[in-house]
Amino acid sequence: MDLQNLEYINRLLDKDVDLREKIKDQVTELDKKTRTLSGMLNKIHSTPTGQLPSLIDSVTPYLESCRETTAALAELIPPNQFWRWKDMWSFSLRNAVFSATLVEFLRNGSLLSLSQASEVLGIKDEWQDRFALSAEDYLHALISLVNELSRLAVNSVTLGDFEQPIKISFFVKDLFAGFAMLNLKNDTLRRRYDSLKYDIKKIEEVVYDVSLRKLAPAKLNRE
């Protein structure tokens, strides 16, 4: 290899190595935040429903602190290279989105849309080719949400809240109907989607137990 070419290659390489390091630092930051978030949100399984709103409020600032990291990442990524680097933070970002969707469900009982999730995490539309929330990552986060809600259905009954499982059941069935619209290939999303039915089964069993014993108020059953 002639010297000029070798130098050129080394320059390219140094640039990439440098960028990778910087991205890694930010991803570590994001990881720290999402770990704090999931630690806090784990308390929903032991918090009586009445106290959930204050728990949710205490989580919100941590959720919004992710905005600094997403902005830093968007700053780092060169134009048009979003897909080149995105695997580095996919996992952490999915966790952040999962927390955001869980907060939205607990607060309003509804599904946080992709654009809302981007907004919560401060991801701007104009970053599209550098940093964005991809449909795939969003869908992965939704599956984590269902996994978590099936656990919550069980634990809310233990805490004496018999309405929560029924709310969860409606919500998860709607989501499942949504997932059924997709043509999934044999990838990780497909495998995780296949796991949803076990979550639904678990939730259904809780709802069955609760209704059988007439523990839940009848008004909640959808007209």
Residues in touch with another protein (CB under 8 A): 1-2, 4-6, 8-9, 12-13, 16-17, 60, 64, 79-84, 104, 108-117, 119-120, 128-129, 135-136, 139, 173-175, 177-179, 181-185
The one-letter code for the residue type at 117 is A
What is the distance between the alpha carbons of residues 107 and 101, in angstroms, rounded to a whole number?
Answer: 10
| Residue 132 contacts residue 117 (beta carbons within 8 Å) | no
Question: What is the smallest separation between the CB atom of 93 and another protein, expressed in angstroms?
Answer: 16
Question: What is the smallest separation between the CB atom of 171 and another protein, expressed in angstroms?
Answer: 9
Shorter beta-carbon distance to another protein: residue 48 or 178: 178
What is the distance between the alpha carbons of residues 218 and 223, in angstroms, rounded to a whole number?
Answer: 10
What are the residues whose beta carbons fall under 8 Å from the beta carbon of 68, sequence distance 6 or more?
Answer: 122
What is the distance between the alpha carbons of residues 146 and 84, in angstroms, rounded to a whole number?
Answer: 29
Shorter beta-carbon distance to another protein: residue 116 or 211: 116
> Could you identify the residue written with the tokens 């996994």?
147
Shorter beta-carbon distance to another protein: residue 120 or 157: 120
Question: What is the smallest separation between the CB atom of 160 and another protein, expressed in angstroms?
Answer: 26
Shorter beta-carbon distance to another protein: residue 75 or 174: 174
Shorter beta-carbon distance to another protein: residue 4 or 46: 4
What is the distance between the alpha carbons of residues 123 and 141, in angstroms, rounded to a whole number?
Answer: 16
Question: What is the smallest separation between the CB atom of 157 and another protein, expressed in angstroms?
Answer: 24
What is the distance between the alpha carbons of residues 57 and 79, in angstroms, rounded to a whole number?
Answer: 36
Question: What is the smallest separation between the CB atom of 209 and another protein, expressed in angstroms?
Answer: 25
Question: What is the smallest separation between the CB atom of 127 and another protein, expressed in angstroms?
Answer: 11
What is the distance between the alpha carbons of residues 56 and 134, in angstroms, rounded to a whole number?
Answer: 26
Which residue, 186, 182, 72, 51, is CA-closest to 122? 72
Which residue, 129, 111, 153, 135, is CA-closest to 189? 135
